[in-house]
Amino acid sequence: MSGKIICVNESKGAVHDFKLFQQNKVHLLKNLLLIADKGYQGIEQMHAFTLIPFKKPRKRNLSPKQRKWNRMISKVRIFIEPVNRWMKRFKIFKYRYRNKQRKHFLRFSLICGLFNYDLGF
């Protein structure tokens, strides 16, 4: 694993990741490279140094250049998947949280801290 969890956030109920990102006004360094998935369409207006894959247009295919670009981004983004797998070992991430809501974020943050500790950070 090569990633480190540097920021976590939560919301009440189901909220799309990009909407949560917009609501919390996360400040990113201008020279930080941000690599996102297709769900973050429009983030380029908020952060100029961003790479996102192309979405397939309706009833058309992506051009060979666009497909090559998407593959290149996927090869970089693949490193986040082991982080997701590691986190889902804990039931708090896998299933509906049925405990006191005010302690959810604390437990979430502690598990992220365990992940970083496991990496040696």
Helix (H, G, I), strand (E, B) or coil at 44: helix
User: pLDDT, tens digit, for every residue of 4-14?
Assistant: 777 777 777 77
34 three-state secondary structure = strand
> What backbone torsions phi and psi does residue 4 show, to the nearest 5 degrees?
-135, 135
Q: Which of the four pLDDT bands, split at 50, 70 and 90, describes residue 47? A: confident
pTM above 0.85, yes or no: no
* H/E run at residue 35: strand 34-35
